[in-house]
Homo-oligomer: A and B are copies of this chain.
Amino acid sequence: MKTIRIGFLGLGTVGSGALAALTAEREAIARRVGAELLPVRAAVRDTERHRAVDTTDLELTTDTMAVATADDIDVVVEVIGGVGIAREAVIAALSAGKSVVTANKELIAKHGLELFALADKHHVDLAFEGSVGGGIPIIQPLGSGLTANRVKQVVGIINGTTNYILSAMTRSGQAFDDLLAEAQAKGYAESDPSADIDGHDAAYKLTILAMLAFDTAVSEEQVCREGISSITPADITLARNLGYRFKLLAVAKDRGEKLELRVSPCLVPETHPLANVNDVFNAIFVEAAPVGQVMFYGRGAGADPTGSAVAGDIITVARNLGRGGQRSYPLGFSGHRTVATVDEIESSYYVRMRVADRVGVLAELAGILGSHGVSIAQVLQTRITDDLTAGLAELVWITHDTTEANIRASLATMDGLDEVVDICNVFRCFGVDA
């Protein structure tokens, strides 16, 4: 039986997970590939460090570039992360004619086009299933099984940290700051949590999904991005009462002339499959013709799930090597779609405000929305009974689809009125007009 030799760049959480997966099912995998997959070498920062995975049969080195270009390695697995040495090493490996597997979302989002062209030039594979959705197979289905479809939208819950915090806020009624601290204590959030809670991580992943779904080059800088830190327990409760759950949604939508790319907290109707994706689970919902609605659900991060995706890619790449090193599917991204600006984004909205509890206020505010072309789907008015704010009412509007520009213009007009004490929060809603 032929042997395919694997070199790892990095051996942290994801690398260890992939190595463990290859080792645990070695015989079954050899049978399924028709060749033995042999991890031979790993480039790591510290060769002496104790690791969660058995590295006895592995040569450890600190020389990343040497592993990337070694003559005796057939497949290079990049699990360093970031776009410094990881990018250099992947370029070197592809240029040396090696197929590459990576789970690096930032690398693919920022430099995918360059790397795909390089892989194409050298007739090798560049596989990146682990870059989005952890263990969920989504890259391959989008690039292969669903490829007869015209995609209308891809909507993902693709960041586990924010979904864990939002699920906990919904269950417990606790505030964002408290639950962030809890998530940090449990290891579900980084000590600097900005990449997750401000939506950067999700924006990278959305960029990759959009490239695949719409066959076009896009950049993560084109993603309109908002984080989850402004959501209060009051918003969570009101959303629940109106039949919604808060989720950080990553949306890539074909609006005909333009593509809409956005990551923002959204109210999702509790009957929608995405509403019940909780804790560290991820899901990617695809709406396309002719397939209709499909959803992919699973664990979005961690050594085991992402290790499964990376090991699956290694197997795919190894199978292709056995057939002459051809690519699984072409990734040219030949389209050049224009991306909508934030003002052009269309969505329905949730607006919470405090207003004077007087005759005619509701009618006046509804009139302002109407004059800006904003149609109302749901309204909830509640008297505020605490001592400090007696005489005020809390108003929540859920609108039908409108543009961000229209909603902003409406709110600017309202904000100038004496009757409007404050506009507490504004969020997008998903699926109200579905």
What residues of chain A have their CB less than 8 Å away from a CB belonging to chain B?
17, 20-22, 24-25, 28-29, 31-34, 129, 135-137, 140-141, 144-150, 215, 273, 276, 288-299, 303-305, 307-309, 311-316, 319, 323-324, 326, 329-330, 332, 334
Contacts and interface: CB of A to CB of B under 8 A. Distances in A.
A330 B140 contact: no
A144 B289 CA distance: 24
Contacts of A305: 290-292
Contact of A295 (B33, B298, B307, B314): B298
Contacts of A326: 323
Contacts of A298: 291-295
A141 B146 contact: no
A319 B327 CA distance: 10
Contacts of A297: 273, 293-297
A270 to B, nearest CB: 10
A158 B148 CA distance: 22
A61 B189 CA distance: 63
A418 to B, nearest CB: 46
A129 B145 contact: yes
Contact of A146 (B137, B290, B330): B137
A140 to B, nearest CB: 5
A77 to B, nearest CB: 12
A144 B140 contact: yes
Contacts of A34: 330
A31 B148 CA distance: 11
A292 B21 CA distance: 12
Most B Cβ at <10 Å: residue of A31, A298, A315: A298
Contacts of A319: 329
Contacts of A296: 294-297
Contact of A324 (B141, B150, B324): B324
Contact of A147 (B17, B24, B29, B145): B29
A151 to B, nearest CB: 10
Given A140-B145, A292-B304, A294-B296, 11 more contacts: A25-B149, A32-B215, A34-B330, A137-B294, A140-B144, A273-B297, A290-B311, A291-B298, A292-B298, A292-B305, A319-B329
Contacts of A215: 28, 31-32
A60 to B, nearest CB: 22
A28 B150 contact: yes
B291 A308 contact: yes
A144 B294 contact: no
Contacts of A312: 144-149
A296 B316 CA distance: 20
